[in-house]
Homo-oligomer: A and B are copies of this chain.
Amino acid sequence: MVVEDLANRRLLKVHHNLVEMTHLVEVAMNEATSALLNADLSLAQKIITQDDAINAINNSIEQNCLEILSANDLTPTEIRMTVASLRMSTTLERMGDLAAHVAKQARLRYPQVSVPDELKPTFARMGEIANEIVKRTGQVIETGSLQFAADMAKNDEEMDAIHRELFSTVLSPEWRHGVESAIDTTLLSRFYERFADHGVTIARRVAFVVTGEAYGMSDLSQIDED
């Protein structure tokens, strides 16, 4: 059927756009971590500017989804995919914003590094986990396969554990870096933690499309969002 084919072709384009967005978000967060740890001002600036490209794809996906829905001849699966795509796109856009937040923090403290030397390995690890999560998010979107869900849940647990640990670190009597650095550390940690949560949220969305059940993946059901 022509209309359905049209919807499918448009859905395919939305799908390509989601995959492209995930790649851009991956690059942005990797570069943000690098800008943060090396106090690299021009890299930070680049990430902040390029966030517009991610926002533009988000707008284009929304437009395409509205056109898909206007076809008025969709299968239930196509409708579900379109709605899920809209939500995933919003979430990816937020992940891009969080990468930009990290970059803005790097820019704010330049030429200083925004985190104390002894916490650099911790933030490097958060950057690695963020990278693993967003890579798996891309795989889940691209393949529709949920085989990466358990790994994502493990990544997310480690991220949460580091986030909690950093709270204890900045509050311990041994903290020697003052209030500003404690706040920077806490906010940055929160950006990474939120980034990971959003990645897991996308996997849950894909699970919803694949299984037809919201929150069907028990490993992924305990995420606290804001």
Which residues of A does B touch, CB under 8 Å? 59, 62, 65-66, 69-70, 72-74, 76, 79-80, 82-83, 86-87, 90, 93-94, 97-98, 101, 167, 170-171, 175, 179-180, 182-183, 186-187, 190-191, 194, 214, 224-226
Contact = CB atoms under 8 A, between A and B. Distances in A.
What copy number does this chain have within its complex?
2
Contacts of A59: 214
A182 B187 CA distance: 12
Contact of A70 (B79, B175, B179, B180): B79
Contact of A182 (B73, B90, B167, B183): B183
Closest 9 CB pairs of A and B: A97-B226, A179-B182, A69-B79, A72-B72, A183-B186, A171-B180, A98-B226, A179-B179, A94-B226
Given A74-B72, A171-B180, A186-B187, A224 B97 contact: yes
